[in-house]
Structure 1
Amino acid sequence: MQRFPEQRVAITGGATGLGLALAKQFLHEGWSVAIADIQDEKGQAEIELLGLPESRLFFTKVDVTKEVQLKKWRDDIVKRWGGVDIIINNAGVATHGAIDEAPLSDWEWVLDINLMGVVRGCRVFTPLFKKQRSGHIVNIASMAGLIHAPEMGSYNAAKAGVVALSETLEGELFSYGIGVSVVCPGFFQTDLGKTLRSPDPKAKDMVQRLFETSKIDADGVAKRVYSGINNKDFYVLPHMSYHLIWLLKRYMPAMYMRSLHVTGRKILQKKRDWQASLATLTQP
């Protein structure tokens, strides 16, 4: 990325999963990396394993629901490096549940982290990028922000909000020399499923299986993200199969809606089958 000769990147949610894979990818390419995560012990352990000097890599405990912590982190990076070239708003969690079953607290939790955490990251780093007249914002959304499976309302809404925010910022910040990318992966091998909140006791195992059985791992997604930023791509879509579903939604919306109906019926039937088997097991 010749437009960023200083090669300085900041990553939220960088202690595990995609965030850690992104950190390693940028380090491999010669960048200096600042990692933030709420998981203090995990973050410190990963830094020690990588064994690089603080001039190349350092960790800070940051809660993305606290804008003051993000500002303090930004100021520390600027003090160390003189500026930042890329902010990757990656921190996130997972939720699942039907609209009348998932508690409102789950909605508030996922929106505060997955959407408002990104909003805060953009708010904190945009003034710096405007001052520099350069920078790139990378917001990690999901294919759930573009195509919306049933019983994923809170997660879908948060990620769709990230896509909408990113599109807004692309137009808003272009004249300042600030680039924007929004990353929309499907399921890939990561530990995001471990954060899942759901009223359905089977959901966590089901979602974790979807992550674990994917043919794409976090390293593969990280490489695609790096390439997308280098190419100045706005949409970064690592999974071709999900990309095709998105194209179906855009160009054949009626067929896409029918596919949602089919998916919804399948989910309902699985629920009924599970309830029936549970009732049989609990009979005296």
Structure 2
Amino acid sequence: MKDFKNKVAAITGAGSGMGRSLAVLLAARGCHVALSDINETGLAETVKLLDGSGVKVTSQRLDVSEKAAVFAWADKVAADHGKVNLIFNNAGVALGSVVDGGGYDDLEWIMNINFWGVVHGTKAFLPYLKDSGDGHIINTSSLFGLMAVPSQSAYNASKFAVRGFTEALRQELELQQVGVSATSVHPGGIKTNIAKAARMDDSVTKIGMSPNSSAKFEKLFRTTADDAAAQMIRAVEKNQRRLLIGNDAKAMDLMVRLFPSAYQKLVSMSSKKLG
């Protein structure tokens, strides 16, 4: 997809961060947008930013963990816009806990949003993307979908799952030759609200970390949401299989490739310093 003019993009998590930036940048290129977020206030703010953009903007409050709601939204987007060319499965949450301390409720919460939300969005929109003949699925994994980190077992599991799901999907779409492609996105530290909104369980104290440690990690984030969104759009244009966003993601990916097992010791040592 080289031209976004008069295309239609659906974006989850559009109430802030990368989702909001994607909406603004795509609209500037003449792409109509269908926006969703569970945060109605943030969603309304994004919609307001698009006033006068000259493209059609629709929005809906949406909990991506609710399968029926996601499918109903996909049907509504197709009905309102006449077609759908892109789905950005961008909504996500974070959780810090250790395996023998975190509860099943938190595990189910993060998997339902980060993984099943991506699955629901992909399966709900895929028929419409095929009908368009020029479609693309962009699923947001993470740097932590490439490497494991102490206190992030649940988040790691959700993002590794997104990566595997999307890479298999990409291959299937190529074999089917249906005019639809897919990209797995792996951001490093992006200046969004995800760290501030993260759930941190007191169990992280078992490994010498503070429940407030997310604030320390947030100070290391360098890439802006606008820059991340621009890279995602370019990845669609180039039909990239995988997109690494940020020098931290690129450096850590290289470390994992060079030291597929030994990198864990290096990460553990760094975690102690940041704890």
Shared fold (TM-score, shorter chain, > 0.5): yes
Does structure 1 conserve the Cα–Cα contact (< 8 Å) formed by 2:86 and 2:129? no
Q: State the one-letter code of the partner of 1:101.
A: G
**Partner Cα separation in structure 2 for residue 96 and residue 203 of structure 1:** 10
Residue number in structure 2 paired with 1:251:
258
Identity of aligned residues (%): 29
State the 1:4 CA deviation.
5.3
**Partner Cα separation in structure 2 for residue 50 and residue 125 of structure 1:** 23
Residue number in structure 2 paired with 1:181:
183
Q: Say which SS state the counterpart of residue 195 (structure 1) adopts.
A: coil
Q: Which has the higher contact order (CA 8 A, sep 6+)?
A: 2
State the 1:150 CA deviation.
0.9
Match of 1:222 among 229, 232, 238: 229
- Aligned pairs, number: 268
Residue number in structure 2 paired with 1:66:
66
Q: State the one-letter code of the partner of 1:245.
A: M
Residues 206, 63 of structure 1: CA spacing in aligned structure 2 closer, same or farther, 3 A cutoff?
A: same
Where structure 2 has 5 or more consecutive residues not aligned to the other structure, the ranges are none
Does structure 2 conserve the Cα–Cα contact (< 8 Å) formed by 1:98 and 1:152? yes
The two structures, once aligned, show a CA RMSD in angstroms of 2.2
1:78 matched to 2:78: yes
**Partner Cα separation in structure 2 for residue 136 and residue 187 of structure 1:** 25
**Partner Cα separation in structure 2 for residue 74 and residue 54 of structure 1:** 22
State the 1:181 CA deviation.
0.6
**Partner Cα separation in structure 1 for residue 39 and residue 136 of structure 2:** 25
Task: Map 1:160-239; keep pairs closer than 5 Å.
Answer: 160-174=160-174, 175-200=177-202, 203=210, 205-239=212-246
**Partner Cα separation in structure 2 for residue 213 and residue 149 of structure 1:** 16
TM-score normalised over the length of structure 2? 0.89
Q: Say which SS state the counterpart of residue 138 (structure 1) adopts.
A: strand
Question: After TM superposition, what 4+ stretches of structure 1 lie above 4 angstroms from structure 2?
Answer: 201-204
Residue number in structure 1 paired with 2:57:
57
State the 1:213 CA deviation.
4.3
State the 1:245 CA deviation.
2.0
- Greater radius of gyration (CA): 1
Where structure 1 has 5 or more consecutive residues not aligned to the other structure, the ranges are 271-284
1:176-218 CA distance string (max 9 Å, x none) = 2211011101112111123211213875642134234422111
Residues 206, 260 of structure 1: CA spacing in aligned structure 2 closer, same or farther, 3 A cutoff?
A: closer
State the 1:248 CA deviation.
2.3
Residue number in structure 1 paired with 2:96:
96
Q: State the one-letter code of the partner of 2:39.
A: Q
Does structure 2 conserve the Cα–Cα contact (< 8 Å) formed by 1:189 and 1:213? no
**Partner Cα separation in structure 2 for residue 21 and residue 80 of structure 1:** 22
1:20-79 CA distance string (max 9 Å, x none) = 111111112221111011112321233124324795212111111112212222222212
Task: Using the TM superposition, name which of 186-195 and 151-160 deviates more.
Answer: 186-195
Does structure 1 conserve the Cα–Cα contact (< 8 Å) formed by 2:10 and 2:33? yes
State the 1:170 CA deviation.
0.6
Q: Which structure is higher in helix share?
A: 1
1:96-126 CA distance string (max 9 Å, x none) = 1111111111111000000000000011011
State the 1:262 CA deviation.
2.6
Residue number in structure 2 paired with 1:281:
none
